[in-house]
Structure 1
Amino acid sequence: MSVHTARRLRLIGAGRVVLLMAAVFFAVTTLVGLRDVSSVVNQVDRWLGNSFSVAAGGFCMLRAILVRGERLAWAVLGSGLLSYGAGSIYFTEIMKHVGAPSPADIGWLVFYVATCVSVILLLRGRVIRFHPSVWLDALVGGLGVAALASGLAAAVIGVDNPVGLSVLGLNIAYPLADLMLLVLVASAFGLRGWHPEKAWWLLGVSLAGFAVADTIVTGAMASGTYAPGGPVEALWGLALVLPAYAAWQRTPREMSERVAGWEVLFIPVFFAVSALTLLVLGAFIRLPPLTVVLAAGTVLTAIVRAGITFTEVRQLADSKMQARTDELTGFANRRGFFERLNEEETRGGGAARFTLLVLDLDRFKEINDSLGHQVGDDLLKLVGRRIETALRPTDLLARLGGDEFAVLLQDADATAARTVAERVLAALDGPFDVDGVSFHVDASIGVAVYPDHAVAGNVLLQRADIAMYAAKAARTRIEHYRPGADLHILDRLDVIETLRAGLGQDQLRLHYQMKVDLRTGSCHAVEALVRWEHPTRGLLQPNEFLPMAEHTGLMRTLTLEVLGLALDQCRQWWDAGLQIGVAVNLSAPNLLDKGFPAEVGELLTTKGVPPRALELEITETALMLDRIRTAAVLGSLREMGVRIAVDDYGTGYSSLAYLRELPVDVLKLDKSFVIHLDSDPLSAAIVQSTVGLAHSLALRIVAEGVETETAMGRLADYGCDFAQGFYLGAPQPADKLTPLLWHRNRRAYSSSSGEGGCPPSRLERVTAADLMADRAEPARAGRPWI
């Protein structure tokens, strides 16, 4: 605040103090009767009485000019006060007597109109919006005031008084206007929750002073006893000064969100009851027709107001229900779920027993991101209906957000919860059809029992969530909460955030595993398998971070980074004279992304690698997410010359239909069949028939999980094309694998026979030293990842 502004505000404050002191002086001299004793005092009082409204109007105008905000409201009020002052000056200096309507009445009545407009403007600046019922409240109040005023006038003047109507028209106008303004201010109090700021109190007291003074004058004029001066003028003087103080009160910074409440019903109820009282009295005493009409109008308007109130209450009930219902699925939302949860906690004095299930869909983010939110929303609706069919009538199903659902099982223990969870998973096993596209959805469920796992509802939900993450990480589909699992979840969250920050920061490492040609023993292709060099934990295996990357939507970015690293190494091998192809696993988001082929083409061009050197491996589960879109993406890749392989064949849907419909070059038989090849005749029969099936479809076949020489020999006898496993070589960093590749392919390169390598009649075996080097990295449980 500048020095000039501060000085100006101090002068205005001093001026208001002087004005208040003048009003007090005026009141004292008027009440004591000094004006009748001293002509000087009488002259001063007359001058002061005319100047109060002018001075107050001036302060309001200054407020509108000097201070931002609500300028129009205070300017209108200031104009009204100046008009009131003009009327007073005309009355005291020109008319000098009480008589018929005059220009003074015009000046006074303009003040009431201006004050009404100012109050409405002030209220609109403090309340966001009005309900229609607020305007009806004002109408009820106005009609009620008019009915009471006319009834009071009839009691004072008399119903048959020949001058009754003219008196009502002239003298009742002022107290009627005062009461109307008081009703408006009272409505403002209600709209502000009966906690208005000081400006409203000052305006309310001012208007109350006007109402009392005007009512007294009206009664005195009706009885012919009115004389200027006395306590009435003292009350007028103080009432005129208060707006000067109201104008300079601090304006609230924020608008009130409270637009209506039960408090505002005070006005319509009070005047409706008053009007009914007048109508009842009309049966015993004679009332003017105007009073009866006004009272009846008040009651009818109040009835309309009651109807609107009923509608608002019903809408409020609907809004309350909607606030507890998920808009997408129609089931309970998080708020509704917690309310029911709190009810269950207190049921039976806290002795209730119930169970929570938290269900999260696997890879839903991939569908949502790749196919759009509309498809994802439609799928969530279908999922919710399937889950509902597996529940009991007393169970509560809620969507907590995204693809996460929660189920509250009343009177259920851990055993009953598992039964319900298994029914839910069974209901989700079938395909979902969304706009002609078939989806398969997997889910993970966490279980927490009250009060075994927690005695507070929010904690119980948190622990069910922890159990769900445990089921997702372990791929067990259903898990119960186990004490101590909280620390594991915190560890997972730390891993996720560290991985998110580490992508693109040269923290990913690739190991490569050979794919050996069983006809020649040479190796011209490897599979790239990712590891993560964690900043503090060292080298992490795929199963330690890839499931979390899948769940959090990081797989698309991670896959592209792995693809870039693999193509870099492939280029280095080709530059060194080793024509080694590289295979990279794809995630489901890549298969559903129509822009992915363009990204692959750009990487191949940038790295200088021919498309035939790249093979992309996909799982059957990923293929089945959206076969139409997947076929389009794979077709684009195939047209570029990139090879397509189906990984882990035999563990998913194993449908021959997609082998016919999708552009596939290679089948990779899952190791679960190969590792039992030596001991299980059924596995041997499956492997042999699968090799024949692949060849009949013009596909090459790779056997994973080769761990013995016998297994490799049998695969060669069955006609299998390629083998991959720890017997032939564990995944190795490129610098360690490169010498082994030279060693295995030395005959092929030395004979300059091209990519064909050694003669097909010879199956090359590496030396024992070579095998020991290949097995330098111990075997890891689980499937190989990217």
Structure 2
Amino acid sequence: MSLLTRGAPRSRLALAQRIVAPLPWAVMLVGILVDEILQSTGQHTPTVLLTALAIFFPLLVLQTALAAAIHPKRRLALVLLIAALSTWALGSILVNAARVDQEATFPGNGEWLFLVSYLGMAGYLLRDVDRRQARPARSWLDIVIICGGTASLACLLVVTPVQAASHQEGVSLLLALIYPLADMILALLVLGQSLLQTRTDRRKSLMIGGAFLLLGVADSALALQGSASTYDFGNVSYALWGASFSLLVAAACRPPQSVIRAVPKSADTPVLMGAGVVALIVLTLRPDDTLAYYMLPPSILTLVAVGARLVLALRDANRANDAFALSQTDDLTKLPNRRAVRAWLSTELAARNPLALMLLDLDGFKDINDSLGHRAGDTVLRLVAVRMTEGVDAHARVARLGGDEFAIIMDTTDEIVLMETAHHVLRELAKPLLVEDIEITPAGSIGVTVAGPEDDDGSEVLRRADVAMYQAKNAGLGVALYDSQLDDFTRSRLQMAEELRKAIADGQIEVWYQPQLDAATMQVCGLEALVRWRHPIQGVISPVSFLPAARRAGLMGQLSEVVAKQAVEDFDARRRAGLDVAVAINCAPPELLGPTFLPRLYAAIEKWDIPVDRLVLEVTEDTFLDDPQHTREVLLELRSHGVQVAIDDYGTGFSSLTYLRNLPVQELKIDRALIANVASDARSRMIVASTIQLAHALEMRIVAEGVENAADLVALVAMGIDTVQGYHLARPMPADQVERWVRDWTRNNNSSESSAKDVADPEQDREESR
């Protein structure tokens, strides 16, 4: 075999194997056919079968050796099979050689070789499995139980009648019965391996199992000879033996599967218990001494294996219970963990019991870990767990979800009781702790949600409590009850984000414009570009509805680029139509400071040849506060390109005069919150007036947005505002309506001015007409 391995490549070896494969079948058929012909002519001699055996078995060995050379990973299993074939062949030759001159008595010298060959076949079956599928001890016990129980049943239903019919006894009966029993056990071994899925090639398993069944039928002929003690077999028996070995070798030579098609599994409990019951029944029948040779061993082995399997099952059950308890317990605080909370929620929701969930998150816990170390943090968590448990009644269940998050499950939906309990827990937590010789006062935020009759998912209840907890934390309330109106993470809003992503790609985003008027002349001096979403079903959607979803989904960059590109194109179209007014584009801080927005804006300006002094980029105050140095560099770059910058929503945050002094900003836009009621509110009027003076002193234009009535407009103009915009003057409109509106406004405004002049000085008009 080593010569074959070192010789021709595998392709030639595979070709040789395909050529050799049908030859054993041909030799067997020819030998049996010739023997039948000689028997019919009265010239029968065992020499023909002896010659056929001398050719048949070497061909099988050669075929198996070629397979071992082709598949080196299976070499040991195939070598064991070669040894079994060679041993059986030698025993068969010895038995048939003794029959040449005289009748051979049973048992002959070759019988021991037959028994040895079964060891080789059993070794082949045990080795020729998928080695990738590791088998625990319980799986092999399953095989022993299945095979032993079936062997016991076969002894009771098959072997016992055979013994009664054959009238043999002693060693000859034992040997005669060993062979079919061994064949049956090996067939059962293949069945067990298939059940446990260590044999994944179903066709190969059927071939091997069929081979041992044929071998068992052939071996049963010896036990059915009655009282004869000689070898007297017909060609049918020889054909069965030959077919069984040929089928076994053909199955062994099949290439292994490269893909695992099934997951290994253990046998079902009813199968194992059934095998044990059969073995117990066999033992209960108390067979006589003759039957005890072959009935007691498989039955006793089966019961021992069943006992061992029950011990393993009990041990596994205990371990599973311990593991389940540990899997639902937090190691640090010994409270139930997130898995336990999910299980509780599922159970209570399924039973439709009253249920409320609180989620507590400690405030500033990271500072404790960073300052004192994780050991001190663990101490704080354990003490918090104790205080939370003491701070609720006995019916409430406290758990630690992980980190510094804790949960409380209560069997009530009374919101007053829930809020009182939450505040009581916070008061208990606020009592000082002594950790690492430092007094610490823990604080936390609690979100509360109540499960409704429509709730059937514990994950949704957890999510709502988490949202409420963050609402409490962000607002500094301590405790907050879930409010769906403040929930930015609902399924519908997630769906809106996905629809918006598609809308950007499909061109559903539109740019509308709101006119800006020069306060001195009331002529249109600019347009602010505003985004709108024309939804195919809902119609035009305001940015208030979808911008939060765009921010969460990371779509603001794409959205800003679409708006800027469309605003530049619309500006070029209006300029070609004779309308040359500046356009203001809103830009969020991440986009302004990001790497892509401005380069693409510059590219669009260059493509459409836009006068950069007619383009204003509106940014909010937080842009300057987050990263002042980077912001300054970006604004200087904008100034070098000629693009103007306006500070949008000025006055809504903690405005700093530092960036007004240091940064290249050309325009301030006072937020509508300060503009509203400026005519009637003296404090608002004072703030706006001082802001206008400050902007003019810094040589900045100042714009009032959100002008909603004539009184505010008159007050703003009197204070010296430069530009005004708002619903009192014009609402945002689509791009195709802007040009007509501007021309109508200009014409009407000019007509009003002419009428005013006629009323003011008619004599001068008459002079001019002359």
Return the TM-score normalized by structure 2: 0.56
CA-CA distance at 1:122 after TM superposition = 3.5
| SS state at 1:220 partner | coil
Equivalent residue for 1:525?
Answer: none
Equivalent residue for 1:240?
Answer: 245
Deviations 1:7-54 (A, max 9, x none): 65455345435556766x479959x95673377998776655555554
* Alignment of 1:274 onto 2:278: yes
The one-letter code of the counterpart of 1:410 is D
1:113 is aligned, of 110, 119, 139, to 119
| SS state at 1:118 partner | helix
Distance in structure 1 (CA, Å) of the matches to 2:198 and 2:399: 35
The one-letter code of the counterpart of 1:534 is P
| SS state at 1:125 partner | coil
Distance in structure 2 (CA, Å) of the matches to 1:460 and 1:369: 32
The 10-residue stretch of structure 1 (32-41 or 226-235) with the greater mean CA deviation from structure 2? 32-41
1:733 is aligned, of 659, 676, 682, to 659
Equivalent residue for 2:83?
Answer: 79
* Alignment of 1:210 onto 2:215: yes
The one-letter code of the counterpart of 1:535 is E
The one-letter code of the counterpart of 2:277 is V
- Gap change, CA 1:261 and 1:282, over 3 Å in 2: closer
- Gap change, CA 1:355 and 1:139, over 3 Å in 2: closer
| SS state at 1:732 partner | helix
| SS state at 1:451 partner | coil
Equivalent residue for 2:40?
Answer: 37
Deviations 1:343-369 (A, max 9, x none): 22321xxx4432232333334445556
- Gap change, CA 1:199 and 1:153, over 3 Å in 2: closer
The one-letter code of the counterpart of 1:206 is A
- Gap change, CA 1:344 and 1:81, over 3 Å in 2: farther
- Gap change, CA 1:436 and 1:498, over 3 Å in 2: farther
| SS state at 1:487 partner | coil
CA-CA distance at 1:116 after TM superposition = 2.1
Equivalent residue for 1:190?
Answer: 195
Deviations 1:300-343 (A, max 9, x none): 55334333333333333333444444444444444443333222
| SS state at 2:484 partner | coil
Query: Does the CA contact (< 8 Å) of 2:468 and 2:483 recur in 1?
Result: yes
Aligned length: 539
Equivalent residue for 1:302?
Answer: 306
The one-letter code of the counterpart of 2:659 is P
| SS state at 1:82 partner | helix
Equivalent positions of 1:273-672 (< 5 A) are 273-282=277-286, 290=293, 294=297, 295=299, 298-347=302-351, 351-368=352-369, 376-432=377-433, 439-451=440-452, 454-487=455-488, 533-535=589-591
- Gap change, CA 1:42 and 1:431, over 3 Å in 2: farther
- Gap change, CA 1:461 and 1:151, over 3 Å in 2: closer
Query: Does the CA contact (< 8 Å) of 1:27 and 1:234 recur in 2?
Result: no
The 10-residue stretch of structure 1 (306-315 or 186-195) with the greater mean CA deviation from structure 2? 186-195
- Gap change, CA 1:334 and 1:58, over 3 Å in 2: farther
Distance in structure 2 (CA, Å) of the matches to 1:278 and 1:59: 42
Deviations 1:74-97 (A, max 9, x none): 333333233333333333346655
Higher-Rg structure is: 2
- Gap change, CA 1:296 and 1:498, over 3 Å in 2: closer
CA-CA distance at 1:296 after TM superposition = 5.0
| SS state at 1:408 partner | strand
The one-letter code of the counterpart of 1:75 is V
Query: Does the CA contact (< 8 Å) of 2:356 and 2:409 recur in 1?
Result: yes
Query: Does the CA contact (< 8 Å) of 2:333 and 2:385 recur in 1?
Result: yes
Q: Matched residues, percent identical?
A: 24
Equivalent residue for 2:714?
Answer: none
1:90 is aligned, of 88, 91, 94, to 94
Equivalent residue for 1:716?
Answer: none
Distance in structure 1 (CA, Å) of the matches to 2:118 and 2:198: 25
Q: Structure 2 unaligned runs (5+)?
A: 1-7, 495-546, 558-587, 594-617, 634-652, 665-691, 703-770
Distance in structure 2 (CA, Å) of the matches to 1:192 and 1:276: 28
Equivalent residue for 2:535?
Answer: none
Query: Does the CA contact (< 8 Å) of 2:105 and 2:229 recur in 1?
Result: no
Query: Does the CA contact (< 8 Å) of 2:151 and 2:181 recur in 1?
Result: yes
Distance in structure 2 (CA, Å) of the matches to 1:475 and 1:449: 21
Distance in structure 2 (CA, Å) of the matches to 1:10 and 1:545: 79
Distance in structure 2 (CA, Å) of the matches to 1:74 and 1:477: 74
| SS state at 1:307 partner | helix
Equivalent residue for 2:525?
Answer: none
Query: Does the CA contact (< 8 Å) of 1:425 and 1:443 recur in 2?
Result: yes
The one-letter code of the counterpart of 1:465 is D
CA-CA distance at 1:130 after TM superposition = 1.2
Query: Does the CA contact (< 8 Å) of 1:428 and 1:441 recur in 2?
Result: yes
Note the aligned Cα RMSD (angstroms).
5.3
* Alignment of 1:181 onto 2:186: yes
CA-CA distance at 1:214 after TM superposition = 2.2
The one-letter code of the counterpart of 1:425 is L
- Gap change, CA 1:214 and 1:361, over 3 Å in 2: farther
Distance in structure 2 (CA, Å) of the matches to 1:540 and 1:452: 44
Query: Does the CA contact (< 8 Å) of 1:354 and 1:408 recur in 2?
Result: yes
Distance in structure 1 (CA, Å) of the matches to 2:77 and 2:630: 70
Query: Does the CA contact (< 8 Å) of 1:429 and 1:442 recur in 2?
Result: yes
Equivalent residue for 2:684?
Answer: none
Deviations 1:227-281 (A, max 9, x none): 2224333332222123333331432534976353426x73x54553333223322
Distance in structure 2 (CA, Å) of the matches to 1:159 and 1:18: 38
* Alignment of 1:250 onto 2:256: yes
Equivalent residue for 1:99?
Answer: 105
The one-letter code of the counterpart of 2:458 is G
Distance in structure 2 (CA, Å) of the matches to 1:486 and 1:98: 95
CA-CA distance at 1:450 after TM superposition = 1.9
- Gap change, CA 1:194 and 1:254, over 3 Å in 2: closer
- Gap change, CA 1:477 and 1:454, over 3 Å in 2: farther
- Gap change, CA 1:115 and 1:290, over 3 Å in 2: closer
Query: Does the CA contact (< 8 Å) of 2:187 and 2:208 recur in 1?
Result: no
| SS state at 2:191 partner | helix
Equivalent residue for 2:177?
Answer: 172
Equivalent residue for 2:750?
Answer: none
The one-letter code of the counterpart of 2:658 is Q
Distance in structure 2 (CA, Å) of the matches to 1:18 and 1:436: 90
Query: Does the CA contact (< 8 Å) of 1:51 and 1:85 recur in 2?
Result: no
Deviations 1:742-766 (A, max 9, x none): xxxxxxxxxxxxxxxxxxxxxxxxx
Distance in structure 1 (CA, Å) of the matches to 2:267 and 2:146: 17
Deviations 1:539-563 (A, max 9, x none): 6777x999xxxxxxxxxxx9xx99x
